[in-house]
Structure 1
Amino acid sequence: MLTNHPYIASPHNMRVKQWASLLEKKYRDRIGQFIVEGVHLVLEALKAGAAVSVVVYDVDRGIPKELLPFVPTTKHAVQATQAATPEWVQASAAAIAKCTGTDTAPPVFAIVGKLQTHTAALYKQDSLVILLDGIRDPGNAGTIIRSADAAGADAVILGRGCVDLYNPKTVRSTMGSLFHLPIIEADLFTLLQEAKQHRMNVIGTSLAATNTCYSYNWTNPTWLLMGSESEGLSPELQQMTNESLIIPMAGDSESLNVAMASTILLFEAMRQRKFN
């Protein structure tokens, strides 16, 4: 046990109760913070300089070696000045389990302030933005954010009816990508009106489309609209698209999972922009 780090043993401790409340959206919205769980996500938050206020680690397992460079009190603290300096707290496995949403308690979690949104990249001349309409599954939303990051997209926009970005399952599914590019929660109809004024190409998908994703010129500034698998794009948003595309399929599958479809489209955009 590190004597200079406070220790919390009981899952009924008041601080533990406050942290655990962040598993619910109403408290995340009220407090303006969310939880990241596990070594990888905590490391990504620290590396990105996110507003990490507290890092809580299992007293029996100690500080994960990957995080030692961010602990100011250790000899390894060569990177500590590159990120926010959080409070480091030791806790029992029972206290950590109360604050996390997984079946097995992770060795560490952190409390992070909600991310600042930056809209400067939305209207670049070569902008690539993906907008999600009614994507309620946290795994799908997180995977799309991860794919957007990997494909070099400029931003992801979550519209009304989407799962909360800070839902613990969504955060885990992003694998840290939510710290790498702007993720904006906004009214899509309002933003699309602004996009039209900036001459962005708004692209949707449709099984009835005649143009494929491989015939579209993805080097144009493009805003890609993706709707839920069950309902598709809302009619008011569909009317705002310049063009609808289809992903051609050789087999008998009726459709693709929205996260898989988004990944295919984003990587076709990257192929044309970077490797054509």
Structure 2
Amino acid sequence: MEYRRSGSAVIESLQNPRAKQWTQLLDKKGREKQGRFLIEGIHLVQEALRSELPPETLVYSAAREEAVEPLLQEASALGVECLAVTEPVLAKCTDTQTPQPVFAVVPKLPWRPQQLIEASRRDGLVVVIDGIQDPGNLGTIIRSADAVGATGVLLGRGTVDLYNPKTVRSTMGSLFHLPIAEGALGEWLPKAAEAGIHIAATSLQGAVSCYEHDFRPATWFVIGNEGAGVSAEALELSQHQVLIPMRGRAESLNAAMAATVLLFEAMRQRGIIFHSS
């Protein structure tokens, strides 16, 4: 049985040029070449459709069209291209073991570090990522930043790819809710400091408790690599060093947990409501 939508036949061949393009987006080189990435599943596609950066193309299983009918209507109203494919094509183009009924092709986020500086001048709060390697950790930090209404996230060089499918899934859609930019910390931390923004880093040496540090002024705080911590370069560029005091016997928290503690302490100090856009 052939399924059709808007007069277009279902894409059945794995050799179809569009299917080949989508498959390339599972690889970082393909994403960099095309300037696009994939999001999988009803929730992520829905978040993208309702963001300022809607998808270019929505691809769905012809066999499961009823499950995504509301998404198709929403996408069509926005002028998003909607294409039906067979289950084998869907499985080939997606990263999950059990493919969701829909994925979408989305342009890479347009944010730049300078925009984070401009947005931070008043009382902004930006999480700076220094070499985190685990996709789940990065995604969780982005979700936590979104949860407290942070101004944005800056990804330093050497950090896991934001558009890695595992990273994208672990953000649960939060990557569409706040600016996320990429840039060299050696360049952008000094520029933020010149703009009057406080630069803080997590550290175990010469640091004050995060509960004593004042997070109310405009602040960028650096979270380091899971094993090595904040790099020597970023520590040198930081004006403040903070730690999370612990009463138990655990040596440390993982990067995502540490970032979340600091973000919620900043929110508490700021009276819950942030004023930055």
Rounded Cα–Cα distance in structure 2 between residues aligned with 1:144 and 1:270: 15
Q: Residue 113 and residue 71 in structure 1: after superposition, are their counterparts in 2 closer, same or farther (change >3 A)?
A: closer
Instruction: Quote how far apart the aligned CAs of 1:272 are.
Output: 1.2
Count of equivalent residues: 266
Q: Please say if residues 133 and 160 of structure 1, whose CA atoms lie closer than 8 Å, have aligned partners that are also in contact.
A: yes
- Structure 1: gaps (5+ residues): 73-79
- The equivalent position to 2:234 in structure 1, one of 222, 234, 237, is 237
TM-score between both structures, scaled by the size of structure 2 = 0.91
Instruction: Quote how far apart the aligned CAs of 1:268 are.
Output: 0.7
Q: Please say if residues 225 and 255 of structure 2, whose CA atoms lie closer than 8 Å, have aligned partners that are also in contact.
A: yes
- Which SS does the other structure have where 1:203 is aligned? strand
- Which SS does the other structure have where 2:64 is aligned? coil
- Which SS does the other structure have where 2:128 is aligned? strand
Matched, 1:92 2:89: no
Matched, 1:124 2:128: no
Alignment of 1:120-269 (within 5 A): 120-122=115-117, 123-269=120-266
Q: Residue 232 and residue 3 in structure 1: after superposition, are their counterparts in 2 closer, same or farther (change >3 A)?
A: closer
Q: CA RMSD in A?
A: 1.6
Rounded Cα–Cα distance in structure 1 between residues aligned with 2:208 and 2:91: 50
Q: Residue 27 and residue 240 in structure 1: after superposition, are their counterparts in 2 closer, same or farther (change >3 A)?
A: same
Q: Please say if residues 5 and 83 of structure 2, whose CA atoms lie closer than 8 Å, have aligned partners that are also in contact.
A: no
Q: Residue 129 and residue 58 in structure 1: after superposition, are their counterparts in 2 closer, same or farther (change >3 A)?
A: same
Cα-to-partner distance string for 1:107-137 (whole Å, 9 max, x where unaligned):
1000111111154342321010111011111
Q: Please say if residues 128 and 153 of structure 1, whose CA atoms lie closer than 8 Å, have aligned partners that are also in contact.
A: yes
Q: Please say if residues 39 and 66 of structure 1, whose CA atoms lie closer than 8 Å, have aligned partners that are also in contact.
A: no
Moved >6 Å (runs of 4+): none
Instruction: Quote how far apart the aligned CAs of 1:27 are.
Output: 1.1
Counterpart residue number, 1:76: none
Matched, 1:14 2:17: yes
Rounded Cα–Cα distance in structure 1 between residues aligned with 2:70 and 2:200: 41
Q: Please say if residues 209 and 246 of structure 1, whose CA atoms lie closer than 8 Å, have aligned partners that are also in contact.
A: no
Rounded Cα–Cα distance in structure 2 between residues aligned with 1:181 and 1:220: 20
- Structure 2: gaps (5+ residues): none
Cα-to-partner distance string for 1:28-74 (whole Å, 9 max, x where unaligned):
111111100000111111100324111111111105144144143xx
Q: Residue 233 and residue 121 in structure 1: after superposition, are their counterparts in 2 closer, same or farther (change >3 A)?
A: closer
| Residue identity (%) | 47
Counterpart residue number, 1:107: 101
- Which SS does the other structure have where 1:254 is aligned? coil
- The equivalent position to 1:70 in structure 2, one of 63, 67, 74, is 74
Rounded Cα–Cα distance in structure 2 between residues aligned with 1:46 and 1:210: 43
TM-score between both structures, scaled by the size of structure 1 = 0.92
Matched, 1:57 2:60: yes
- Which SS does the other structure have where 2:109 is aligned? coil
